[in-house]
A and B are shown apart, each in its own frame.
Chain A
Amino acid sequence: MSLIQFFLLLFFFYAVNRVFFQYRLGDVSVGQFVLWVVVWVGAAVVVLKPNLTSQLAAFVGIGRGADLVVYATMAVLVFAVFRLMARLEKMNKEITVLTRAVALKNEKLKVKS
């Protein structure tokens, strides 16, 4: 095992641990827990058996295994950023609804008093 493999595996082990504890605390749902475990275990498998990605890369028509990992990671990250932005937009809207409700309620209280 090379040094980079060792450190990456250590990091993945730590990440799975974190997900597990967050799941125990109720911070992440069962679905998210399973998703993240699959992601980190998958990453560990790729690190342990780099040839697997090369075979997969050849199968889908990409030259090198590492390229496949980079492409796939970028696609997932871009999608994640888009999802985050959409969620942020929704949260912004909700904050506006709340702010408006407070403003209107305070005006009613002023009129009453």
Chain B
Amino acid sequence: MLFIILPAYNEAKQIGRVIRDLFQQLEIGKFTVVLVDDGSTDETARIAEEAGAIVLRHVVNRGQGAALETGGVYARAQGADAVVHFDGDGQFNPVDIAGAVERLRKNNFDIVLGSRFLDNRSQIPFLKRWFIFPVSRLINRLFTGLHLTDVHNGFRVLSRVALEKIVITHDGMAHATEILQLVKKYHLRFAEHPIEVRYYKFGQGPLGGIRLVSDLLFRTIISKR
């Protein structure tokens, strides 16, 4: 059984549409949508439940990494054979899931990572494409040793094997780098898959990036994991 995990924080405006689109547009057999409401103060949880998702509710906001891991724990317990990490803000195209899952299953990959750079559907803002991404890619390479065309877009498909191995301990945005570190550590078979990202808001700015790197460094200093 496939589980689609959506972390969401105050996404009441979009979340209903995102979940309905998944159920209407995704032709992939049976799947479960798990929404992890990360301490929202709006109606995210209620709307998601009405749209047909299973809702796990964080009482307080813990960050996207923590929310994904909560979904992961649930999916493991429910016997998921694969999970999809998807965004609750409507920036991904549900249609991309089918191709990515098929790629994972047919080629026996452990994890398939979405990439905005493998086709030209994503209209990436100028500043991001030419300044932020090159720097992020470099930092990512330094921390993970993996050569990827894209960083931190949040679209992933994990096999059961990857789901068992990838236990996220970084609560904030550094989880995206941590996942890649674990891919490398456990020699998981990975591939990139073209996805479309629609830009409604800027996402993580330079300050967020600095925070992410300091999180990674601090954790490296205080623990051996």
Contact = CB atoms under 8 A, between A and B. Distances in A.
Contacts of B39: 99
A29 interface: no
Nearest to B36: A103
Interface in B4-62: 36, 39, 54-60, 62
B142 interface: no
Secondary structure call for the B interface = mixed
Given A85-B218, A89-B219, A100 B66 contact: yes
Contact of B62 (A85, A95, A104, A107): A95
A99 B60 contact: yes
A85 B223 CA distance: 12
Interface residues of A, number: 14
Contacts of B171: 92-93, 96
A103 B59 contact: yes
A45 interface: no
A99 B169 contact: no
Given A86-B222, A92-B171, A93-B169, A99 B73 contact: no
Contacts of B74: 104, 107
Interface in A74-113: 85-86, 89, 92-93, 95-96, 99-100, 102-104, 106-107
Interface string B165-177: 0000101000000
A98 to B, nearest CB: 9
B62 A99 contact: yes
B218 A99 contact: no
Interface string A51-93: 0000000000000000000000000000000000110010011
Contacts, number: 46
Interface size class of B (residues with CB under 8 A): 20 to 34
A89 B58 CA distance: 19
Contact of B58 (A85, A86, A99): A99
A96 B62 CA distance: 6
Given A99-B59, A100-B73, A103-B59, A89 B222 contact: yes
B170 to A, nearest CB: 10
Nearest to B61: A99
B87 interface: no
Contacts of A93: 169, 171
B69 interface: yes
9 closest A-B pairs by CB = A103-B56, A100-B70, A96-B66, A86-B222, A99-B58, A96-B62, A99-B62, A107-B56, A96-B171
Contacts of B55: 107
A103 B219 contact: no
A85 B217 CA distance: 13
Contact of A100 (B69, B219, B222): B69
A104 B222 contact: no
A29 B171 CA distance: 32
Contacts of A95: 60, 62
Contacts of A106: 56-57
